[in-house]
Amino acid sequence: MDHKDAVRLQATERYLLNELDPDQLDQFEEHLFDCQDCALEVRAAAMFVEQSKNVLSKTAETIPVQVVTPVSPGWFSWLRPAFAVPLMALLLAVVGYQNLVELPTLKSASILPQIVPSASINIATRGTDVPVIPTKKGQAFSLLVDLPPDTGYPSYIADLYNPSGKIEWSLTVPAESVTNDSVSVRVPGTQRQAGVYILAVRGVPRDGNSPSEIGRHSFELRVQ
């Protein structure tokens, strides 16, 4: 899923409302790792929903309750001025705070350059060298992957195997992202354990057959 697809599907809103089907959910969550705009929208919207809940709960606690016998009770009785005016004022305050303080702060933080640990690996060779990547807990890192020359695949799949030998993360890489038989793969930060990991790359054929592995290489992740 690219950014245009996310906008067209209104993926941010549907993600927060749990309206995405399983395939769309997986694609959008993978897209969030690479799209700072969508990640910012999801975070800001989630914060606004949480703040709104707090405002509504506090308003309900502080407004005095008057026992009356309504002439015609209905769904819109809560819109009476005694309730609606302070509620709208609080909601406007929340919206103003989000727009004037939190969103600009998040936006400026998202565009700041970030230097992450990195290493170069060549999956075309099976050498004994194991690059070491020092990271902190939850920190992302990047791999500059050298591919075999002239593979001719329209896309590739990078699979990350953890020290237990299980696939922990995968990424689809279009051929357009490959430059001079090299591609930069950014691995999102999670609570990974230290140890030796393996990055395996599979080529996706044009005829729709199953992807075939074209190489793999090990690297050591040292979590500080």
Residues 29-41, mean pLDDT to the nearest whole number:
77
Joined together, the tokens standing for residue 41 give 């929208």
Residues 203-215, mean pLDDT to the nearest whole number:
92
- Please provide the average confidence, as pLDDT, over all residues in the chain: 78
Residues 100-104, mean pLDDT to the nearest whole number:
56
Residues 168-172, mean pLDDT to the nearest whole number:
94
Look at residue 157 in the predicted model and tell me its pLDDT. Answer: 95
DSSP one-letter string for the chain: --HHHHHHTTHHHHHHTT-S-HHHHHHHHHHHTT-HHHHHHHHHHHHHHHHHHHHHHHHHHHSPP-----SS--GGGGGSHHHHHHHHHHHHHHHHHIIIIIHHHHHHHHHS-----EEEEETT---S---EEEE-TT--EEEEEEPPTT---SEEEEEEE-TTS-EEEEEEEEGGG-BTTEEEEEEPP--PPSEEEEEEEEEE-TT-PPPEEEEEEEEEEEE-
| pLDDT at 199 > cutoff 90 | yes
pLDDT band at 115 (very low <50, low <70, confident <90, very high): confident
Assessment of whether the complete model's pTM goes beyond 0.85: no
pLDDT band at 162 (very low <50, low <70, confident <90, very high): very high
User: Does residue 58 or residue 166 have the better pLDDT?
Assistant: 166
Domains defined along the chain, listed by start: 35-111 (no CATH), 118-223 (2.60.40.1930)
